Every structure is written in structure tokens, then in C-alpha cells.
Amino acid sequence: MSENEGGAAYAPPSTNSNVQRSVNGGEKRCSLPVWCKAAGVCQASRQGTLTWHERRQEIDFPMASNKPIFFFLLLLFLSLKLQSSSSQTWIKAGYWDSSTSLPVSDINSALFTHLFASFAFINKTSYQIFINSSNEQSFSNFTSIVKLKNPSITTILSIWVVRSESTTFSLIVNETSRRKSFIESSVKTARLYGFHGLNLDLFRFQPTNGTSLGTFLDEWRAEVASESRNTGKTRLLLTMSAGRLPIVNSVNYPIESTKRNLDWVNILAFDYYVPREDRFTGFHAALFDPLGRANTDDGIKEWLKRGFPADKIVLGLPYHGYAWALVKSSDSGINSAASGSAVTVDGSMGYKLIKSFIQNYGYGVEVVYNSTYVVSFCKIGSNWINFDDVEAIKAKVSYAKVKGLLGYTAFQLSNDDNWVLSQAAYGVGTTQPKKHQLLVIVLVTVAAMVLLIMALIYYLQHKVFKSQGLLGALKMSVSLIRTKISGERKQENGDPNLQAFTFATIKAATNNFSNENKLGEGGYGPVYKGELLNGQEIAVKRLSRSSNQGLEEFKNEVNLTAKLQHVNLVRVLGICTENGEKMLVYEFMLNKSLDFYLYDSEMNPKISDFGMAKFFKKDELEANTNRIVGTYGYVPPEYIKKGIYSTKYDVYSFGFLLLQIISGKRNSNLYGCHENLNLLEYAYELWKQGRGAEFFDASLDDSSSSCKLITCMQLALLCVQENPADRPSMVEVFTILKNKSSVAISVPKQPAYSTTRDERTDIGRKKVFSVNDASITQVEPR
């Protein structure tokens, strides 16, 4: 097709079309571009030659129009990118165990994207995998049956490798011919039974050589890729199920090989504490633990720290719990002495059995949801049961989304009670795509409106409002509209720099207070990241409506922080009090959120408030907050165990901080020759044995006074005593630090949170001060 044929190809005008006859018979050429002539801009036919000023006026509208067009295209591009990113599959998987009583036809596959059929086993002679003959029919029809309710479901055959199979599987990964036999048989079996992938269940596998396992994964991936090329079929998915940590018995998982060869890893985050092994009650699947015991969050962080990507981690959700038999029926909390399993042989109970057990017991059973650990538990007679109820499942799925994980896996489906847990997990998982779709629609609509408004403003400015007075009025109207849209206005009373934000503005900025925008949660409510319409990023502290002391705290924080401007203080931008809310709007710290150390874009350290201790009334020696607030590790035992806040709270925190300063050690690690002592226990043991020098940070210079660090260590141990009465007051602490050589110091007892008790008699504290025993920790703002 020639250049001038059809309308699709760009055809430059002929030479003749570019020439006009002037009044004197000569030729003059229009130097304007083709698109200007197409818009009717070229006026070369007018008598005389156009001046540059006239020509500039004529082409000003198309040039100005490019700005809103560019803005519109930018918004459209962003919306398409959002739509593309939201299309990534969010894994909603579940384990079906063939040994249970759940028929394949009863699985509600509409609630899942992937289903694991378990288990295939390893032949110890041929090293090939096989399916028990009694389950062969179920496995043969598995994929076709679950597709009836969900045609897009993906099915994966799971291969069982447990402690008893560890030796066999170790033989396989350590020898080339055995690896070949296993790998080829696994691919053939998956294709034979109609599965779309293979899963290697190493949850309780005891590896002996991480390098050999890496080689095995390389060869497994190469085989499925080769099989796909040769047959033209879609490549089989390869996944693995592992425990909480990427290291077992000092053997590391081959992270690089795992990351390179597997589509994802299921982290089966449960069975941390079980009654057949532990003679004390413990949460078997805690998401968090303020005392640093086994928990899911620490495990996920360890995988990420070793370089494994978050978008290849699928979080395991337990549909089971455990029952302990209490030694004392009066006990009801975590860490209570237990004699072993209850209800079942090993104490394990599926969610369905737990709900039935509670219902059959009758009136009076209270199921408690602990949001600190993200678990549920109850006490029935002398039995203590912990499990994940609906609240815990929802919280864990939200956690997976916030952490950028790939999805979740339910273990196992037969334990669900009428699909209650699966529906709860599915509901959380499906909210995000809807939000993305809504955002795409909003962006396109806004882009079109902006384009239309800017074109209208230009037309009015250049064609109608020629007078400066009308133009000024238009500019003022635009300014008022902009202020209205931003939702910001100055406070009528109080600090002139403090803005009052509308609830609608904050709601839009924080994506309706979504979990994805949640930065953390303090003692009096959550903190969200937000972005105003002008692009400014903010942090919103939303005080809980259920807080009895919320209004007092809100007034204090507004009055204090709004008036203070300092390079190391987070600036308060405004407040929101609409709809009964009490929200504080801060500047957003680019380098970490409000639940951690705060640094601005130039890495200047910041603080956001003045500590919760200062909000208690002056005449109160202690108060009950009904929930844990403050930084874990620095929280005294009376607060953790009973929710009691005493005026010796700050003394305990100071002692803990002092131990960290002189040792340079983390509070989340374990120490000692057996690595079974927390920081407080470790410090006490070394001090008691006269080996305090081993505790100190090597970078600290103690040459000028050999006893000053020992004094600090002894003082710190006094501050972290279990009983608040055994701790010194802050005046006593100050006196000791100021007059180290002339003041006698009491001998500390076993510190708080110790697993063993101090057997020596209680030694009274020495009376060496003129002040009485009352604590005089200040209660005015620091």
C-alpha cells in the first residue's frame, strides 16, 4: 500500500498543498507543522506575513492541551499497571489427606485455587514413588471431581517424607541413579493420575546434607522442564512443604537452589509446642510471641533474612490444635505445668472435634482469642486446649498479604467444621483484587474528569475571561475547589499550624483503613500509612473507641506534640474528630514505620510520643490497661501476666536497657553454653559466678575503673527483679550511678522471666538512703 492509500498510514502532504499564492504573485510557505494545519491553525492565506507573536498565539491551545493529555495517559498507564499487578495469583491452597474420612466429592473446591492430594509414598527398594492400592481410585478421580465445583482448580500430588523416611530419602538425594529413579517416577505418576504439580513434604524431614538436596532440586526441575518440552504439555508445578525455620539440626536448606527450582515453599507454621513432648502449656501455632519463644513471624523473617523471596512463601494454616492435661486445675494460662496429653492419645484435636467437644461440655466454656499471640484457647475442666479459630485464621491471612507472601495453605481440610475456617480465609484473600479493580475504575474516571476540567479552564481563560478581574475570580474559585478536594482546613481554635482533616479524607488516604496500609498497633490503637490527594504521605494514629482513657490521651498528645517543633520529633500535621473518631495525623517517616525506630529521609532519628507512663493519673500507683502496650522485652512481668501497670514499670525497662547497653546483645536471642538462657538469665548467671566481664561488650573501655561495669550490671539486675518491691526507685538508681564507690548495693535475686527459681533465701535490701520505700518515678511529661 502506498503512503497515501487508506487512512491508517501516515501520509505527509504533497509539496503543492504546502504552497499558497501571495498577493504579489510570489510563493510563501507555511512553516507550521502538519498537525497545526489539520487543526485549522495555518492562516497563511491571510494577507501579509504572520508575526511570531501571532503565530505563537495560534498554536498556544494545542501546546497547552498536551499537558492534560499527558496527565491522562500517565493515569491510564498507572491503572493498567495496577490491573496487571493484581492479576498475580493469590494462592489459596488446602491439604486433602486420603487417610481421613473426607470424601473427595465433599471438598468445597470453589474456596481454593490449589489442592494438595496427600500422600504418595517412597518404595524403599526401587526408590520410586507409589500410591497405596486402597486409595488408587480416589487419586485417579481426584482432579476430575474437584474440577466439577471449580474448573480452574490446580491439583498437586504430595509426596510424604517424614522422620521414618529420612534415611531412605537421604539415600536418594546422595546418589545419582537413585535421584534419577525417584524423579522420573514422580513425573510419570503425576501425569498418570492427572495432577498439575508435585509437592515434596519435608515438614519433619531430618536432612543430612544441604548440598545434595540442592543437586536433587536442580535435577528435578530439569526433568519436569524436559518432559514439558518433549510432550508439549504445561510444565508441572514443583513445590515443597517445610518447617518454620530454614535450618534443621544445623543443616541449612539450600536456599539458592530452592529459590531457583521451586515455584513456592509451604511453611507449615504449627506444632511448635505439643503435649507429648512439652510438660507445660504452649501455643503450638503462635504468629507472634513477645517473649521470643517459637513463633511464625520469627520463622518467616529467618527465611527472608537468608535471601528467600517473600513471593515464593505460602503460609501454612493449622486446622487443628492440642489439648494438655493440667497439673493444677486452677491454672489456665500459657506456661502452666501439664502432665501430658488430654482428650486424645497425643493431644491433637481437629477444629471440628474441638468445637464439638466445647459444645458437648455445656454452659460455661469461654473461648479466649489472644490478639498478641494470634491464637485462641479455652479451659475445660482440667484440660487446656489451644487452636486457631476464625479470628486467628483471618489475622494470619492478613499477615501473609501485608508481608507480601504468595498465599496460604490450609492443613488439613478434613478438620474444618462445615468450611467455616476455609470461608474465613477465602474472604480475606478475595478482598484485594476487588479493591484493585475499583482503583482502576476510579483512576480512569478521574483522568477523564481532569482532562475535561483543564480543557474547560483553558477555554474560559483564553476565550471568555479576558479581563483580569474575572480571571482572578476564576483562580480563586479553583483554589477553593482544591482546598475542598484536599479535605484539609485550618483549625479554628488552637495551634494555627494544626489542620483538621475530614473523616472521608483519612478514609480515602488509608484505603479505608486496610490491613495493607497498617504499619503496626500501639497500646491505644493501630497506625496506618496514608497518602493525601496532593501526594503527601502521612501516618494516621487511630485511637481505639473501646479505650477508657482514649480521650485523655488524645488531649494530652495533641496539646504536647502540636506545640513542639524539633529536629528529632515527628511532626503532628493535624487531627480528625469526625464521627466520634480520635485520630492524629503525623508526617510519615520514610525509613521505618511507627512500630519501630523512626528515621526521616535524611536518617535523622525521631520519636512520636512521650511514653504511655505519663498518661496515668498522679495519684495512681498502679493501673490496669486490660491489654498489653509498650515495647516487648522492656515490659515487666506483672504487666505481661496480670495487665497491672506499676510505677516501677520504668525502672524495669531502664534495667533491661542498661543490660543491653553494656553487653551489646539482642533481647530476642538465647545465650549460654546450651543456648537456653534469655538475656536476663544469662547476665545473672555470669554475675553470680563472678564472670561478669564475659557479659560486657568488648568495645567498652573499663580500664580506668575496673568495677564500674560490674556496678552497672548489678544495678541493672536489681532493676529487673520479678517483684516490683525488690526494684530500686529511680532516685536510688541515680544515687548509685552518681556515687558508685560510696553506696552499698543490694544483692539481686533471680531476675524476671527465669525458667529456674533462686533457691537461696530472700535477702532484704540494705537501708542506705534517707528516702522512704515509695517509688518516686516522675509522672509529669519528660
Give per-residue pLDDT as tens, 420-441.
999 999 998 554 445 556 776 7
Of 561 and 493, more confident = 561
Q: Nearest CA to 157 among 204, 197, 130, 100?
A: 197
The DSSP line for 633-657 is TSS-HHHHHH-EEETTHHHHHHHHH
Q: Are 125 and 185 in contact (CB under 8 A)?
A: no
Q: Are 61 and 76 in contact (CB under 8 A)?
A: no
What is the CA 36 to chain-centroid distance, rounded? 54
Q: Nearest CA to 649 among 775, 746, 769?
A: 775
pLDDT, mean of residues 571-577: 84
Of 7 and 320, more confident = 320
Backbone angles phi, psi at 66, to 5 degrees: -65, -30
- Identify the band that residue 1 occupies on the pLDDT scale cut at 50, 70 and 90: very low
- Identify the band that residue 209 occupies on the pLDDT scale cut at 50, 70 and 90: low
Lowest mean pLDDT among 45-59, 623-637, 641-655: 45-59
Q: Are 750 and 758 in contact (CB under 8 A)?
A: yes
- Identify the band that residue 671 occupies on the pLDDT scale cut at 50, 70 and 90: confident
Question: Is the pLDDT assigned to residue 508 strictly greater than 80?
Answer: yes
How many Cα atoms occupy the beta-carbon half-sphere of 531 within 13 Å? 6
Task: Provide the β-strand partners of residue 275.
Answer: none
Please tell me the predicted confidence (pLDDT) of residue 716: 93
pLDDT in tens, 82-105: 544 444 589 999 999 999 889 999
Please tell me the predicted confidence (pLDDT) of residue 779: 38
With 0-12 / 13-18 / 19 or more C-beta atoms within 10 angstroms meaning exposed / middle / buried, residue 689 is exposed
Please tell me the predicted confidence (pLDDT) of residue 165: 66
CB atoms within 10 A of CB 272: 19
- Identify the band that residue 611 occupies on the pLDDT scale cut at 50, 70 and 90: very low
- Identify the band that residue 673 occupies on the pLDDT scale cut at 50, 70 and 90: confident
Please tell me the predicted confidence (pLDDT) of residue 483: 43
Please tell me the predicted confidence (pLDDT) of residue 106: 96
pTM for the full predicted model: 0.50
- Identify the band that residue 486 occupies on the pLDDT scale cut at 50, 70 and 90: very low
Please tell me the predicted confidence (pLDDT) of residue 168: 87
Please tell me the predicted confidence (pLDDT) of residue 506: 93
Helix, strand and coil content of the chain, in percent to the nearest 5, comes to 40, 20, 40
What are the grid coordinates assigned to 163, written together?
522422620
Please tell me the predicted confidence (pLDDT) of residue 253: 86
Backbone angles phi, psi at 314, to 5 degrees: -115, 125
What is the CA 164 to chain-centroid distance, rounded? 36
CA distance 731 to 501: 43
- Identify the band that residue 324 occupies on the pLDDT scale cut at 50, 70 and 90: very high
Please tell me the predicted confidence (pLDDT) of residue 435: 57
Q: Are 568 and 597 in contact (CB under 8 A)?
A: no
Average pLDDT, the chain: 77
Please tell me the predicted confidence (pLDDT) of residue 316: 97
What percent of the chain is modeled with pLDDT above 90? 43
Of 679 and 623, more confident = 679
CA distance 41 to 61: 10
Lowest mean pLDDT among 160-169, 228-237, 321-330, 731-740: 160-169
Question: Is the pLDDT assigned to residue 387 strictly greater than 70?
Answer: yes
Q: Nearest CA to 331 among 382, 295, 369?
A: 382
Lowest mean pLDDT among 181-195, 381-395, 542-556: 542-556
CA distance 541 to 178: 59
Backbone angles phi, psi at 117, to 5 degrees: -95, 120
CA distances in angstroms from 496 to 484, 490, 500, 587, 629, listed in the order given: 18, 7, 11, 17, 32
Asked, as a colleague might, if the bond just before 721 is cis with ω within 30 of 0, I would say no
pLDDT, mean of residues 358-386: 91
pLDDT in tens, 112-130: 999 999 999 999 999 999 9
What percent of the chain is modeled with pLDDT above 70? 67
Task: Provide the β-strand partners of residue 325.
Answer: 340, 383
443 by DSSP, 3-state: which?
Answer: helix
Please tell me the predicted confidence (pLDDT) of residue 96: 96
- Identify the band that residue 264 occupies on the pLDDT scale cut at 50, 70 and 90: very high
Contacts of 561 (CB under 8 A, 6+ apart): 569, 570, 572, 584, 609, 610
Question: Is the pLDDT assigned to residue 466 strictly greater than 70?
Answer: no
What are the grid coordinates assigned to 17, written together?
498543498
Within 234-305, residue ranges assigned H as helices are 255-261, 296-305
Please tell me the predicted confidence (pLDDT) of residue 777: 41
According to DSSP, the β-strands at 197-201 and 237-242 are parallel
Please tell me the predicted confidence (pLDDT) of residue 495: 53
pLDDT, mean of residues 342-349: 94
Please tell me the predicted confidence (pLDDT) of residue 704: 65
Tell me the residue type at 654. F
